[in-house]
Amino acid sequence: MPHCNGFAVLRTAKSYNLANYDRLRQCIIDGLRHAGQDARPLNDLPIAQPPLGRESPKVKLHQDPSQAALNTVTGYGPGYVEVNKVRYNHSVMIAPEGDVTPWPVSRFEALDTSHFDLLRAREPEVVIFGSGERLRFAHPRLTTALTSQRVGVDSMDTQAACRTYNILMTEGRRVVLAVLIETEATE
């Protein structure tokens, strides 16, 4: 079995790392040619484009037509979240049905129990807290009212929170997404 740049050429080779995608693609093509097989179909595969710089990616998610009436996160990026193609530049509470509601908190340090009580009023099965560009956990005393009612609370960075919300929402779960969009402190 030929090897190239550390990759073993296998017919079932998979790579989930975009940085290695092109090397693996070329290695498979070379391996097929070495084995005397036609590698032309692989030449049609796209060449991976690594993310530019160290910026947070701006992501657009595509809505499933069968879920069109539900609140779906359709995009997110630094300083915003997009629900049903409407952009919000402030913290919001999102449930599958009903309005997207402002969540009156603009700094992680300002979170208190009243912010999580607003989420409890929506009677969720699970609350997903999108803590911003990096993962931060709300203090357990802030979520006690939720957890004492057997409501699951999970903290994630905003990107992971948005993706997880969409999955749970399409499964028909009673999920509420609380997205923290931090604004600059004004002094």
pLDDT for res 47:
52
What does the pLDDT look like over 42-95, one tens digit per residue? 555 555 554 555 444 455 544 454 555 789 999 998 899 999 999 999 999 999
Task: Give per-10-residue mean pLDDT for the chain (187 aa).
Answer: 46 44 63 63 52 50 56 92 94 94 93 90 92 90 88 93 93 94 67
**Tokens 């710089």 — which residue?**
53
| pTM of the complete model | 0.63
Q: Are 106 and 182 in contact (CB under 8 A)?
A: yes
pLDDT for res 23:
61
pLDDT for res 168:
93
pLDDT for res 44:
56
| 160 CB-near residues (< 8 Å, 6+ apart) | 130, 135
pLDDT for res 100:
94
pLDDT for res 27:
65
- The CA–CA distances, whole Å, from 138 to 15, 144, 181 equal 35, 11, 15
pLDDT for res 166:
94
Domains in the chain: ranges and CATH: 3-43 (no CATH), 59-179 (3.40.1230.10)
Phi/psi for 127 (5° steps) reads -115, 130
pLDDT for res 127:
94
Q: Are 102 and 90 in contact (CB under 8 A)?
A: yes
